[in-house]
Structure 1
Amino acid sequence: MENTQHELRASPLDASPTDVQDGIFADVLQPAVNDGQRQPESPGHFEMRLNQGFFNHSFEDLAALMDTNTPLLDDFDSFLSPSHIIPVIPPPQLTDPEPPLALLSPGIVARPETGETISRLGSRLPSLQPQEMTWRAPEPVRTCKLFESISSETRQLFITKMRQFSAVVPKPFEMPSRLALSRYLKAYLNGFHEHLPFLHVPTLSSDACCIELLLAIASVGAQYCLESEKAVQLFETSHAIAKERIQRLDDSTLPLGPKVHDRRGSDFAHSLRRYGSFMEVPGLTLRDSLSESQETLESRVQTAQALLLLMAEATWSNHRRTLRQALAIQSTLASLIRDDVLKAMPAPHDVSWEEWGKYESTKRTKWIVFCFFNLHTIVHNIPSLISSSEMDAMLMPCHSATFRATCEAKWRDSKVEETDTYFKEAFGRLFKEGTPRQDFAPNSTLGNYVLIHALIQHIYLVRQVLHPCDDGSAVILENDITLIELALRNWKSAWKQTPDSSLDSSNPAGPVSFNSTALLRLAYIRLNADIGPGRALHTRDPAQIANAFLEAQIIKRTPGLLRAVLHAAHALSIPIRIGVHVVAQTQTFRWSIQHSLATLECAFLLSKWLEALSSPVGDQPISSSEHRMLKLVRTMLEETDYAVPSILAVESRRGMRLLAANVLRVWASVFNGPTQVWAIVNIIGSSLALCANLVEHG
């Protein structure tokens, strides 16, 4: 928003003329009061009162009303959120004069939130009686939760933090208005955070939040608000500050207090630098680590969190200015995570909720970095920079109820049921017969998400070490397939035992569990079909992606492949059951990128399988199981706009090619909705539509 007048017009308070006359503007539009009785007022007197600024004061009253928890405000609770509340600032005429535009540095412009007339939505209007026209100095900025409504004081705090990095801030850069910041943070919280929950929202405060993390959150939130240009500006500024922060941290020595230095010596300082605040250092307790170095260590963690968000945004967007930076950020982030060491000691039971929140947030950050690197493997067919074996000594994430607790009392109640489990133990169970047993504590939803990513990475690495066959494909040995399928079955059993598991993307516990099921389908496909190199997603060009699909080899029909086809068909049934057009209109803000990636491979697998059926090799006839699957796919398409005409035999070459093309068209319809947050979803939809035409007429 460019100015506060715009902010006022965007307000959800849309009063009718009657409401205005009877309410907030009554003192202006009605005659003046004299001795307790209203007397007629001449038009000239009324005009004089307007010229004296009474009408402006009424706007200030309106601002005060919106900023206070009056009973009237409760009437709007159903559609008025805290992010719409306009914070209070003192009337300009009662404060020290300030320049209309303050240049903080050659690259940072602080546009004042105040202006003329309507933009002076001042504090609660002082009484119009002269003796009460006084104003008190504003109180110091109080610590507030980051995701609460951003006040003018909080925004100014962010600008002050950014002054420390003015030399590297891209010029010119203007901090978004407080209403825009509130909007972006709210969008991040309702959109991205639910899919990758690593920030401890209840305890993250505005004064303790590094500026690069704040800007990275705002950048992702701006993308969810469909303000892509603003998102790019915030991205570039956050990235520049993050790189500068890392440089300063690397160049500086760790500040240690004299007592700590005298007692532990330089070896302790080296360990603390290496292991971080919550890591496994011999003889070091969590209390020890909460020392003078804590601010430096937390800055390093928050910088890593900022880079994680920026890497995600660069990966899924189609801005050439950010896309090329995704893999570069990956390398920096991997170095930061390794510097903090991939180990974690159990959180002591005597720490405060706030201290535990930092501990769990740091741990989850490392896990989600591991998972996101694995997504890069899926998209770009490149090895992850962090292998699952490096995570063996990491504790699994806590349950969502514990992490989402909004107060210390709820946190302590939910924490009673927590059991510490290391990744090596949880991952090893998946490859053993008869597990998971009932006597094992269930994983958290994020724990299941981590484990399915580890299985996909395992499948990728097993396939990479195999020697290619004559046709260039790499076939996993039957013994390996049997063992990995055992692990996938055990994962499904563990998923079912997790209390928060759900196939509903709007589950109150979050969509992480739903996202994990998409990755399960992808794991079955990767296990039974070598299709990794054939997608060209890195080009972001639908034509190249479609041609890469067509040029990929026809997959071999095996019993194992049919199990993967069944998972692909199940994925197709979800939007058909809900309604293809409904999903196309709503999935943007509810489905994660993982679903888009898994869908792409499901569509590709079904299409290639149908192509294999239409071009049988040798004397291999269509089996009864394949025939049933074929009829199932055709029956599902009859519920859409892409049914195969009944006069066309599905077993014919023409019928199966049309069926393969229409499967791609259904998925293309799902991902060609009117609005997409991330550009890669549109690219996938366009690629599938092009591929469908090529398959049908090829």
Structure 2
Amino acid sequence: MLSVAKSNPALILAIAACGSQYRFETQRGLSLFEAAQLLLLDDLRQQKYINTPALAPAHIEHRERESESQKITPRDRTEELTELIQVSLLLTIFATWGSNSDILQELLALQGVFASMLHEHGLEERTPAFQIDAESSDDNNWHRWVTQERARRTKLVASAFHNSHCLMYNTAPLILSSDIKLNLPCPTPLWKASNAAEWRLAYDSNPSSEIPFQTAFRLLFSPAHTLPASISFSTPLGNHVLMHAILQQIYFARQLYVYPPVEQLLRNEDLSTLEDVLHNWKLRWQQTPESSTNPRNPAGPIAFTSTSFLGQAYIRLYLDIGPFRALKSLRPAQIAETLMSAPPIRRTPGLVMALLHAIHGLSIPVRLGVEFVARTHSLYWSVQHSLSGLEYAFLLSRWLLTLPSCGSVDISEHEKQLFLWIKRIIEEADLANECPMEGHTVTELTKDAAKMTQVACTIIRIWARTFKGNSCWGIVDVVGSSLDIYANLLEGS
């Protein structure tokens, strides 16, 4: 449905900029980014969102010709705003996933403007938002439906990406979950329909497919056995958006405390509620036909990417390492030093679930082959996996370092099983010679501080190698280098 001739030139340039990165054309991608940014800033200036100098005369002449063509085929204000939000989102992704701190700071300074655009476009809609017009053809109904669904998905994805900044930089989210009164994305067959006939067939099969975001989110807080089976809001993108809402809930629950962030624990009632919410989310994820933990899932990567956010959610329930990452600096040495400055973690029974997700996250690249994943990361893995991997590596390393301090108390059976899993992963990664553990019991190994430091550094370096390969996005290499330096600092300490 994208028409190059009718679309905002800034949108085409922004798409090309991100596409160039995926083709490893870094310099060309940067040039396209700068051109798209220039046009976007001019659009924002003309519409009074910002106050910046006008474009150079050559650019003004081009925009005047564009305006003349649009007079012939006038465009709806809603569609224009949708495209502006899409441009803003793509450029923000380019800056966030890159490794240029100057570009990142420029785009972060505009996030408030982008949030205002989302609010102006409208974060509310009725249910159902679309109904078949019996007087119109299927083709007209389909185009009208696509326009609404595209706008909805654009706003939901933009809101979720704004929330990613909250996770990465430990800043308050600009779009609150309570602000979102949109419906969740439609079922996949509807969205993937390639013509009006396919769409109408899928639409007639899903006449009540529009589920309000607030309804779906509220159901996650209900006991699992009370969830109505007749309401199915499980789509990959819908699950993804709901997970961001859960992470935002965890973020605000932590703001009620004044204790040191890494050491603090949420109230028992908060922990219990949020654990149930995550359990309900997992049930819905499992019921989604497209869900898979296979990075090469033919249905797309969104479901796999959502599992990395699930792991982060469990970690954030018991640890808050947001203030100890310094990701905004994009400097590996500073990120590693900040991780080193984090206080020791507490071993609690609830931490086992977070550890389980961290170890499972590590087992996937090891099972597929670390070198293979490192060289194909940009093709099958999202950038989010490297960011969650940073937290996984931190959690596992700090947990391993706490084991020798148990004193005369043995580690729990659950922790023993987790340690044995780590041991098998190291062996499967062909690193047993670098970190020998044969001939010793679990108790002997976990009481040896030097050995636990060695195991921790080995785990960190497996993660680092996974993210230091053939990635097209600079932030992935930043994470890999940061983990390498962090492992060196642990050894030196």
TM-score if structure 1 supplies the norm length?
A: 0.63
In the alignment, does 2:422 pair up with 1:630?
Answer: no
Which of 225, 230, 239 lines up with 1:448 in the alignment?
239
Write 1 or 2 for the structure with the bigger share of helix.
Answer: 2
Aligned counterpart, 1:660: 456
**One-letter identity of the residue aligned with 2:461:** R
Task: Tell me the C-alpha RMSD between the 2 structures.
Answer: 1.9
Q: Tell me the CA shift for residue 540 of structure 1.
A: 1.0
Aligned residues: 453
In the alignment, does 2:331 pair up with 1:533?
Answer: no
Question: 2: CA distance between counterparts of 1:494 and 1:631?
Answer: 31
In the alignment, does 2:471 pair up with 1:671?
Answer: no
Q: Tell me the CA shift for residue 206 of structure 1.
A: 1.7
- Higher RCO (CA < 8 A, seq sep 6+): 2
Question: 1: CA distance between counterparts of 2:102 and 2:157?
Answer: 24
Residue identity over aligned pairs, in percent, reads 38
Say whether the 8 Å CA contact 2:85–2:114 is kept in structure 1: yes
**One-letter identity of the residue aligned with 1:432:** S
Aligned counterpart, 2:211: 421
Question: 2: CA distance between counterparts of 1:390 and 1:572?
Answer: 36
In the alignment, does 2:306 pair up with 1:306?
Answer: no
Which of 230, 245, 249 lines up with 2:28 in the alignment?
230
Question: 1: CA distance between counterparts of 2:108 and 2:215?
Answer: 31
Question: 1: CA distance between counterparts of 2:185 and 2:48?
Answer: 29
Say whether the 8 Å CA contact 1:600–1:684 is kept in structure 2: yes
Say whether the 8 Å CA contact 1:442–1:497 is kept in structure 2: no
Which of 314, 327, 333 lines up with 1:524 in the alignment?
314
Question: 1: CA distance between counterparts of 2:408 and 2:117?
Answer: 56
Say whether the 8 Å CA contact 2:295–2:301 is kept in structure 1: yes
Say whether the 8 Å CA contact 1:436–1:493 is kept in structure 2: no
Cα displacement string for residues 140-184 of structure 1 (whole angstroms, at most 9, x for unaligned residues): xxxxxxxxxxxxxxxxxxxxxxxxxxxxxxxxxxxxxxxxxxxxx
Cα displacement string for residues 76-127 of structure 1 (whole angstroms, at most 9, x for unaligned residues): xxxxxxxxxxxxxxxxxxxxxxxxxxxxxxxxxxxxxxxxxxxxxxxxxxxx
Q: Tell me the CA shift for residue 439 of structure 1.
A: 2.0
Which of 120, 127, 130 lines up with 1:347 in the alignment?
130
> Structure 1 unaligned runs (5+)?
1-202, 252-291
Q: Tell me the CA shift for residue 647 of structure 1.
A: 5.7
Cα displacement string for residues 308-340 of structure 1 (whole angstroms, at most 9, x for unaligned residues): 000010111112442222312322210111111
In the alignment, does 2:148 pair up with 1:359?
Answer: yes
Q: Tell me the CA shift for residue 625 of structure 1.
A: 2.1
Aligned counterpart, 2:250: 459
Question: 2: CA distance between counterparts of 1:320 and 1:561?
Answer: 34
Change (3 A) 1:619 1:460: farther
In the alignment, does 2:404 pair up with 1:614?
Answer: yes
**SS of residue paired to 2:350:** helix
In the alignment, does 2:481 pair up with 1:680?
Answer: no
Change (3 A) 1:604 1:417: farther
Cα displacement string for residues 425-455 of structure 1 (whole angstroms, at most 9, x for unaligned residues): 1001111112544222242110000011110
Question: 1: CA distance between counterparts of 2:20 and 2:153?
Answer: 24
Q: Tell me the CA shift for residue 507 of structure 1.
A: 2.2
Q: How does 1:23-422 map to 2 (within 5 A)?
A: 203-250=1-48, 294-345=75-126, 346-350=129-133, 352-391=141-180, 393-418=181-206, 419-422=209-212
Say whether the 8 Å CA contact 2:355–2:395 is kept in structure 1: yes
**SS of residue paired to 2:110:** helix
Say whether the 8 Å CA contact 2:262–2:343 is kept in structure 1: no
Say whether the 8 Å CA contact 2:262–2:321 is kept in structure 1: no
Change (3 A) 1:439 1:348: closer
Structure ID, larger Rg: 1
Aligned counterpart, 1:571: 361
Question: 1: CA distance between counterparts of 2:16 and 2:281?
Answer: 35
Cα displacement string for residues 40-95 of structure 1 (whole angstroms, at most 9, x for unaligned residues): xxxxxxxxxxxxxxxxxxxxxxxxxxxxxxxxxxxxxxxxxxxxxxxxxxxxxxxx
> Structure 2 unaligned runs (5+)?
50-72, 134-139
Question: 1: CA distance between counterparts of 2:404 and 2:198?
Answer: 59
**One-letter identity of the residue aligned with 1:298:** E
Cα displacement string for residues 333-380 of structure 1 (whole angstroms, at most 9, x for unaligned residues): 101111112112312222522221111111011101111011101110
Aligned counterpart, 2:58: none
Aligned counterpart, 1:180: none
Q: Tell me the CA shift for residue 400 of structure 1.
A: 2.0
Question: 1: CA distance between counterparts of 2:335 and 2:409?
Answer: 31
Say whether the 8 Å CA contact 2:263–2:346 is kept in structure 1: no
